[in-house]
Amino acid sequence: MLDIARELEGLRRQVSVHAAGVVIGDEPLVNYTPLQRTQDGAGGIVTQYEMHAVGNLGLLKMDFLGLRNLTVIEDAVRYIEGTRGTKIDIDNVPLDDRATYGMLSRGDTIAVFQLESPGMRDLVKKLQPDRFEDVMALVALYRPGPIGERMHFEYAMRKHGQRTVEYLHPDLKPILQETFGIILYQEQALRIAVDMAGFSMGDADTLRKAIGKKSGSVMRAQREKFVTGCVNKGYTKDLGSKMFEMIEHFAGYGFNKSHSCGYAYIAYQTAYLKAHYPVEYIAALLTSVRDKQDRTALYLAECRVMGITVDPPDVNRSESDYTPLPPEEGKSGEIRIGLSAIRNVGENVVSEIIRERETKGPFASFADFCHRVDPTALNKRVVESFVKAGAFDSLGLNRPELLTWGTDTRTGDQRLVLSEAAGKMLDAAAEDRRNEQAGQSSLFGVDERHAMTTVSSPMASGADISRSALLAAEKEMLGLYVSDHPLLEVQQAMRASTDTQIADVASAPEGSTRTVGGIVGRFAKKFTKKGEAMAVIVLEDLAGAIEIVVFPNSFDKFAPLLQRDAIVCVKGKVDLRDEDPKLVALEVWRPNLEAGGDPLVLSLEAESCTPKVVERLKEVLSSHPGLTPVHLRLTSGTGTKVLRLPDDFRIERRNGLYAELKSLLGATSLR
């Protein structure tokens, strides 16, 4: 065994390939390095030398990163030209656009490249960017190194004059003024070494590499060289030591400025598009993430916030991808979901539908659709998927008219299926097409056959199909709720029962406790090594989704509540160890979704309702969130007015609340 191990020692375990690395030489690369084909047999050529050896040979190594957002920007520009007739030069948009910076300063950065995470949104609001350099700084600051040093907060405070900007020497001001006295970029450290210590650019880059490696002996030599260089340039030895320590400290968070600038420019372009052309931009973004359910749900929720209507797929109006419709005066515009977003629907079916529609006009009815679309591309499963997704709604048919309850042959569960009448119509249309191809026609001709089929097959299935069942079927086909959402009607109740939106869990501290609410999406029952049952569920609210782990001790207590499509609240511990945040469930319960009962009426004299009292009243009501509405009864010399407070101030009737209200407004204020 040892002899075999010695023979294996030092051999490469495997051949890996850099995801985006490209090697460039002045001659054919085979003159410098042995080459080979990739292991997957795809035909790619890679170097046999590893990356360090390739660099030592003097070959140029470049990383070319493919960003999905570049395609999004390109598609958005194309959509804008199609909907508005405006061709914008996205590479020359003004970098001082007030609308863009105003949107960023509000933290309205969902769907903005690099700036949409909860933590980044908080930082953007603190920083209040008003110049492109601030966007560059955001990209460089929101990383583990600067955050660990709290440099992101320091930068924001210095920008707004809450901290004094000081320099070790006036000669540092031209180098660090842009970043308020903070070394934020590698290029700034290099320039300090060149300007203050007389380093060549090559020596300065060697210093940068040495700081990154943190080798004690190398750093001592670099320090001595740097301090000596400062003295030779006329600075004191003490200043030289302090500047070196400043550069050394910078190694924990420094970032490449050109990298930051490139990413910031794409971020700014996406922000500009969202600020000025939101419908076209969000449509392009939705198309790019159509296979990612969580991202699609996030951007659809953002559409609701922005007032953009998102319509279900439509056989007469939808293209293959998400389609922006031109905004009308006084409206925010709408986006129509593409036909290819429907489950079980292939590109060949979509292409056939669009081709038929473009050559012969829109479909007049369900029967017309069944007859005109090639039956080799159309089957009952595809038509059922169209119905559930709402693609026939515009033809004047309600979904219950085309669906009925059936039994799933695999699970035995009840599920919505294509109604018998709709199925017969589809079969009749297919038979007509076969007869046409065989050179036959019905006694009455094809058009008459359509009419007879329609009359003799009443569409109403007679099935009792609830709104929630139709929404569940819609989600089954589209991966999310579109025409409506079960949580929209109970937003206030959910807000009263939770303390965090799912999208904000990522910014909560590791191990902290948070309570979220939503609808159970995916549910997977698992077993531990001991054979104990547990579960992993995905909980979705209007703004996002999160994976929740329910370990055996919790699963035993809460299993009956964890049903698919159930609305629940979960209190759990935040787990940020993986790329996507999770919650470890501690408690699960069904929230009270009732309206909240009779309102709480607060009576007081109008003259006593001062701004100070109003602010304190807001604080008291907000600290007791619940479902009960609050009315304010104001009495003055001219009469009495009753004001209904916004839903944000609904309360839960607790003894503590009454005591606080009596203390603020007086004992006679409660009714």
539 and 453 part of one domain: no
- The pLDDT-based confidence of 454 (bands split at 50, 70, 90) is very low
H helix runs in 290-365, sequence order? 293-306, 347-360
What pLDDT was estimated at residue 654?
66
Cα–Cα dist 352/573, whole Å: 50
What pLDDT was estimated at residue 257?
92
What pLDDT was estimated at residue 650?
82
Q: Is residue 346 part of a domain?
A: yes
CB 549 within 8 A of CB 583: yes
114 and 220 part of one domain: yes
Q: Is residue 283 part of a domain?
A: no
Q: Is residue 574 part of a domain?
A: yes
The sign of the torsion formed by the CA atoms of 152, 154, 157, 161 equals negative
What pLDDT was estimated at residue 155?
93
For the cut 50, the answer to whether the pLDDT of residue 457 exceeds it is no
493 and 474 part of one domain: no
For the cut 50, the answer to whether the pLDDT of residue 451 exceeds it is no
What pLDDT was estimated at residue 2?
86
464 and 567 part of one domain: no
- The pLDDT-based confidence of 446 (bands split at 50, 70, 90) is very low
What pLDDT was estimated at residue 89?
96
Which of 103-117, 134-148, 358-372, 403-417 has the weakest average pLDDT?
A: 403-417
* Mean pLDDT of the 133-149 span: 89
Across the chain, what does the average pLDDT equal? 86
CB 281 within 8 A of CB 111: yes
Q: Is residue 563 part of a domain?
A: yes
239 and 123 part of one domain: yes
For the cut 80, the answer to whether the pLDDT of residue 583 exceeds it is yes
- The tens digit of pLDDT for each residue in 227-238 reads 999 999 999 999
Of residues 119 and 98, more confidence is placed in: 98
Q: Which two tokens stand for residue 219?
A: 């750093």
CB 537 within 8 A of CB 570: no
Global pTM value: 0.75
90 and 233 part of one domain: yes
* Count of the separate structural domains present in the chain: 5
578 and 632 part of one domain: no
Domain final position from 525, 558, 589: 589
What pLDDT was estimated at residue 138?
95
Give the 3-state secondary structure of residue 560: helix
CATH number at residue 561: 2.40.50.140
- The pLDDT-based confidence of 42 (bands split at 50, 70, 90) is low
- The pLDDT-based confidence of 443 (bands split at 50, 70, 90) is very low
Which of 201-210, 329-338, 595-604 has the weakest average pLDDT?
A: 595-604
Q: By residue range, what is the domain housing residue 459?
A: 341-478
Domain final position from 210, 234, 260: 260
